Structure 1
């Protein structure tokens, strides 16, 4: 059974579930916010992806971890936000030394998380949207503009006058529209998880304005800005040539591991 946030108004959530990319047995797809309707069957329940490690989802995650459950709980590509400030910026000093995954998925049978931990305390499984075939259509496209802005639809971008740039939001479910936009620019300024992630997979130089701790959880880290954009910020950006291959390989390896251990095919 595949369980995630069925939100067709958030393109990142819509394209993050691994069931869109891997050949699981035919099974229902359920919305995690209807957790009280999820049956207690003797099956494999795959949860994710998306940023489900948040206070809003805690009651639903706890309900899934019921003591009498007959099913196996597997988290795939899930993220967490242990700190959030939608009205401002989360500075890195606030989360230094903290476990960015938190305890949201404690009690799951397997946890594959998009939260990268250099100490390898967690199994790094980046968002399964990296398996979308359209990345290969856009990754090698030459950018024809300098700076584009990718906005969270509900969170304002701090310290950047967006009207001086081309911009798009994470609203909707058309991933090709978003990838086409991201691939058109040498630099991407964003405050969304998938703005960073997809821009990085497309080999763009990404600048992130972080309003939540999950934006510090990337293996391929963007350049963070907390003030007005300066030329030096652009100079400090890097692009990751092999990020797409690394992220796809991690998902394929996790799928193989689960197949061998649980027989999910």
Structure 2
């Protein structure tokens, strides 16, 4: 429900790479593309980094989700079937050759209203347990 998603800043990079720190061995990290891992930092710092890219390339589940909620183009580099569970699926690429598929990244502008609605329903369900 973070208000950051309502008005993310304009991107300052064409592409950023957000990696899962324990699932990224051998993943291409080209020079000139800002990258950071998913461990360390605050939520706000992570969202700032993700929002700094017009396109987000990531093998982090949360990186995919938050990138789509930010309205950015996302290229998902899946390492397990958990990436198949998105209501609105991201574009996926082979982690070993993602650079050749970079042009396929797409935004999913409809995901933020769905995410907020699901969070509100969950909140109300929890509040009604008392």
TM-score, length-scaled by structure 1: 0.44
Change in Cα spacing, 1:174 to 1:137, as seen in structure 2 (3 Å) is farther
* Structure 1: gaps of 5 or more residues: 1-130
CA distance in 2, matches of 1:193, 1:159: 16
The one-character-per-residue Cα deviations of 1:150-188 (angstroms, maximum 9, x if unpaired) are 011122255523434110111124111111111111111
Q: Secondary structure, in 3 states, of the residue corresponding to 1:196?
A: helix
For 2:53, the equivalent position in structure 1 comes to 185
- Aligned-pair distance for 1:149? 0.2
Structure-2 separation of matches of 1:199 and 1:240: 9
Pairwise CA distance, 1:209: 1.2
Give distance in 2, aligned partners of 1:157 and 1:210.
13
Counterpart residue number, 2:6: 136
Structure 2 counterparts to residues 166-245 of structure 1, below 5 A: 166-226=34-94, 227-228=96-97, 229-230=99-100, 233-245=101-113
Checking the alignment, whether the CA contact within 8 Å between 2:90 and 2:108 is kept in structure 1 is no
Q: Which has the higher contact order (CA 8 A, sep 6+)?
A: 2
2:33 pairs with 161, 165, 168, which one?
165
Distance 2:114 2:83 in 1: 19
Consecutive unaligned residues in structure 2, runs of 5 or more: none
Distance 2:26 2:86 in 1: 21
Q: TM-score, normalised by structure 2?
A: 0.85
1:59-78 correspondence runs (5 A): none
Shift of 1:144: 2.4
RMSD over aligned CA atoms reads 1.9
Query: In the alignment, does 2:19 pair up with 1:146?
Result: no
Distance in 1 of aligned mates of 2:26 and 2:78:
9
Equivalent of 2:115, from 243, 247, 265? 247
Point out the structure with max Rg over C-alpha.
Answer: 1
Q: Distance in 1 between matches of 2:4 and 2:46?
A: 11
| Pairwise CA distance, 1:255 | 2.2
The number of aligned residues is: 128
